[in-house]
Structure formats: C-alpha cells, structure tokens
Amino acid sequence: MHVFFTPDIIPTSTSYTLSEEESKHCARVLRLGIGDMVQLIDGKGGQYLGQIAEATAKKTTLQILEHHSTEDQWAFKIHIAVAPTKNMDRMEWFVEKAVEVGIDEITFLQCARSERKALNLERLEKIAVSAMKQSLKTHLPRLHELTRYADFIKTVPVENTFIAHLVEGQERHSLVKSISGNNQYTVLIGPEGDFSPEEVQLALDRGIKPVTLGSSRLRTETAALAACHTFHVLLDV
C-alpha cells in the first residue's frame, strides 16, 4: 500500500486533503484514483488508513477510515552529531540510510576543519521524509541546523555521549563495548580532516568519552552510519 506523509493531520480527522506535492505524486505519478486505499503517517507515530474520495494533481482528498498510534520503534535513542562533508551527496546518502536503519536525531556540526559552511536543511528533511516512507517508519527524525561544535558540546548530556576521533596518543575504547542498555546515546563524528586536537580535548574535559569504531579508517558519512547501525545490532533485539 502506498504511503503518504501528512504532518498536520489531526487524529480525530474523518477526511484529509494531501498537500499539492503529495497530491501530484498520488494522482499523476502513481495514478491512484477514487476508491484506492492508502496509508498516511504523520512522523510522530500516528498511522492512518485512507480511501481516496477525490484525486487530482492539485487536490487529492481522502476519507479517513482508521487511526492508531505506534510506540517508539526501539527502546533506546540515537543522536548522531556529524560534520557535513564537502560533497553534499555523501551527507544526503547518510541521512537517507540512517533513517532507513533507524535514528532519532541528527545534528550537523561546524568544526574547525569543516570544509562546508552551510547546508540546505529543507532538502535533507525531504530526503528524510522519503526514507521514512520507504522504510515504513512512523517517526520522522529531528534534523538540526548547522551548529558550532563548541556550542553543541556545552548542551549535550555527558552521560552516554561519545566522540569518535583519530587523534594520535589519545586513549579510546570500542563503541561496541561502551554501549550498555536502552539509554539515550549521542555520538560525535568529525569532518573529513577529523576533529582538531583542541576539539577532542574540549570534549574530554567535559567528560565525553572517546571511542573507536574499529580498525578501519572510515569516511565521515560511513563512520556516522556505522555508529548508528552499531546500536541497532546490539540493542534492537
């Protein structure tokens, strides 16, 4: 059954009109018509069964037949804070795959060695919505604007927060061995040139734990996805 994103739907609704973008996709691209059944998700756990009552490229109206809410799809929380890559295709790939695997929050970090100074958050959010629909998730992850690294680590909870870095001479522990139980976790992933020694020390002074993601040297987006997937391998059972 085809899935549509309806973020402003009200749980008590008996009818709903898709946005113009979703209406076009429904009526023109998918060629659905009156009487066809569709699934709606609001990105906050709400799921709806709808039947098309009117179908045009500008306005598709649905009759809402069923509604129910789902619990969080996993018992833990994953927040990846990552410095965007110079090539945005790679960061878009990370967002898509992280949503498919399962993630709760993504913060984009502005670090000392960052090559990218701006990003199109609206485009990344559209990619996240598409991945949510494709992977049949019911919760849309929160995507945060580009944030200065020093500002971010002042606000992030220290407990169960990790920084993955490659700075020589610093003791690091395996992320796998650092995860314990269904908690709220945050992992910091640096830019393509890694975190600066000063940034690593700033995190350590705050009490953030240094970790390694394995023996391989990973690209930024690969490291971020590997960290996300590690939690699911260990905890999503």
Domains located in the chain, CATH noted? 3-69 (2.40.240.20), 77-235 (3.40.1280.10)
- Report whether pLDDT(142) > 90: yes
Q: What is the pTM of this model?
A: 0.91
So what's the pLDDT on residue 168? 74
- C-alpha span between 230 and 236 (Å, rounded): 10
Which helix (H) or strand (E) is 17 found in, with range?
strand 15-17
So what's the pLDDT on residue 171? 80
Question: Is 90 exposed, middle or buried, given 0-12, 13-18 or 19+ CB atoms closer than 10 A?
Answer: middle
Question: Is 13 exposed, middle or buried, given 0-12, 13-18 or 19+ CB atoms closer than 10 A?
Answer: middle
Q: What is the mean pLDDT of the chain?
A: 93
Top-ranked range on mean pLDDT: pick from 21-30, 104-113, 213-222: 104-113
**End-to-end Cα spacing for the chain:** 27
- C-alpha span between 212 and 226 (Å, rounded): 11
So what's the pLDDT on residue 39? 95
Q: How confident is the model at residue 217 (pLDDT cuts 50, 70, 90)?
A: confident
Tokens linked to 160: 């169960």
List C-alpha distances in Å: 52 to 18, 28, 72, 88, 99. Answer: 10, 14, 28, 37, 28
